[in-house]
Amino acid sequence: MKQQTLGADCVFEGKGLHTGKISRMTVKPAPENTGILFFRKDLGKDAVVEALAENISSTARSTTISKGEASVSTIEHLMSAFTGMGIDNALVEVDCGEVPILDGSARPYVEAFSKSPLRVQQAARTALVLPREIEVRDDATGAWVKATPADAPSYEVTVDFNSRVLGIQQARWDAGIAYSEEIGPCRTFVFFHEIEYLFRNNLIKGGDVDNAIVIVEHPVTPEQITKLSRLFDKPSLAINESGYLNNLKLHFPNECGRHKLLDLIGDCRLSGGFLNARITAFKPGHTINAKLAKAVRTALQEQQP
């Protein structure tokens, strides 16, 4: 397969999930063998960060990459869309330190990238081939992620929050499954009892009930619902019979599991390209996903002559 880039510039604007700042971002076509580059245009012409695992600087509720003074956070949905849509090369210009959250999924990227046919480039895509199976574990949580050499990329997740609402959810993606329809539209989620804590700790300043599924795991009072309605300036919030806030309607019964898969795909792209491996994960999250991407980068570099 040949490398591909975007057919045209794509512009996005919206709040950053954690900073709450308005971000304007332009995703541009890039030459062959560029990979994915982030450019903080507000910091000067040299503020470029390569989307590679060694540049990961934080995995607190999202994935952040940094180089020198330049840092860009919440990149995982965009990185996932690049992989799902088969984009090898792109330049991402952003005017602040966080990618806009938009609707909390990769759908806006998928739709924008699809408006102009992707441009097929002359250079061949070089698939990343693992020298051996790689597994990372978190003994404290029981989470693990494993990359097994394979002929083509595939991803499978099992999500278990010990939640009566979510239950145990599974999701998978490979080349035979339409990313744009089955994975890209799946939105981020948060538990109701986490929201107040996150706000107190200066996180999700740009979060609202239009860009996140809210799971109500524990009993809540009418006063708590009223407080949340005022916080987000949304009247008539209520809990539906399935245990979710009625702000959004689920696209799929396992949308939360599919979103964790979306994140995993985006974080694994920081291994440096399209990885010919079967990625399997139990209770994945940004921190353990990043550990896998870093371990893959190390293994690939060790096998270079």
Provide the H-helix boundaries in the chain. 76-84, 107-115, 179-182, 192-200, 222-232, 255-268, 286-302
Distance from C-alpha of 255 to C-alpha of 261, rounded to nearest angstrom: 10
Beta strands in 10-68 (DSSP E): 10-15, 22-29, 36-40, 48-50, 56-58, 64-67
Distance from C-alpha of 266 to C-alpha of 90, rounded to nearest angstrom: 14
Residue 277 identity:
A
Place of tokens 């806030």: 245
Would you call 286 a catalytic residue per the annotation?
Answer: yes
Angle between helices 192-200 and 222-232 (to 10 degrees): 50
Q: Catalytic: which of 18, 77, 259, 286? A: 286
Catalytic residues: 286
